[in-house]
Amino acid sequence: MVFERQEGVPKFVCNEYREKSKEYVVLIPIINEGERIRKELARACKYDIADYADIVVCDGGSTDGCTEESELRRLRVNTLLVKQDIGKQGAQLRMGIWWALRRGYRGLITIDGNNKDSIEDVPQFISKLEEGYDLVQGSRFVKGGKAIHTPLIRTLSVRLLHAPIISLTAGQRFTDTTNAYRAYSARYLRDERVQPLRDVFMTYELLAYLSVRATQIGLKACEIPVTRAYPKKGKTPTKISFLRGNGELLKILFQNLRGRYRP
């Protein structure tokens, strides 16, 4: 099924393999993740994550064969959404959020598709949503969390720059703010004071904005321990270039601090 572009939502194709079966959904934005997304989905199968939440892949237009239908079905993926429009991660997330809210989920969990994160921790995110939290941030830096082979420059940039700015903007301390492994309640995303479905969120703006908006409007937020593991050797799996990408992130952080993304 094709959903045409509308205000705040890109044009996309929906390949629904199964009907909605759970109250929560895991959204995995990817583009050309190859074996990394297959390994992540295999881990999800190992820990029976599909028994807790429907798993939905939000593809940005992969061309490497990682979204082959029979393989996704075998790995218990509920639905594949394929963006056919402009925008990067922010557009993929808006596509997924709109579809998830339309389908009636009570909350959603987002996680990168590069197999760095402990997808087996999804039930802990759901437990916190059930307790009434509206934003649940995964952190490798809180007690119980694990940061494995994290490049030093990334540790320093998160601990000394990104997290302090987000914490200042949110009015609550967070420790792992570049981590896209987090959960949102449907109540938070539907709140008129939030409005995540806007075309201003094209790249990484939406992650920064949703990190701070919950506490700004008086909703409950917390962190839970997760594991984020980088490969011991080889290229770091990331879509953010060192100079240009990090420069754009800094720009987004300060625009967020100034209230640029508030509706």
Structure tokens at 234: 């080889």
Higher pLDDT, 56 or 238: 56
| Residue bearing the bigger pLDDT, 241 or 225 | 225
Share of the chain above pLDDT 90, in %: 89
Residue 114 lies in a domain: yes
Residue 153: band (very low, low, confident or very high) from pLDDT cuts 50, 70, 90: confident
Residue 262 in domain: no
Q: How many domains does the chain have?
A: 1
What CA–CA distance (Å, rounded) separates 80 from 28?
10
Q: List the CATH number of the domain containing 94.
A: 3.90.550.10
Q: What is the pLDDT of residues 59-118, one digit of tens each?
A: 999 999 999 999 999 999 999 999 999 999 999 999 999 999 999 999 999 999 999 999
Q: Is residue 123 domain-resident?
A: yes
Please check whether residue 263 lies inside any domain of the structure.
no
Q: Per the domain annotation, does 252 fall within a domain?
A: yes
Which residue range is the domain that position 224 belongs to? 2-257
Is 198 among the domain residues?
Answer: yes
pTM: 0.93
Residue 132, pLDDT above cutoff 50 = yes
Please check whether residue 40 lies inside any domain of the structure. Answer: yes
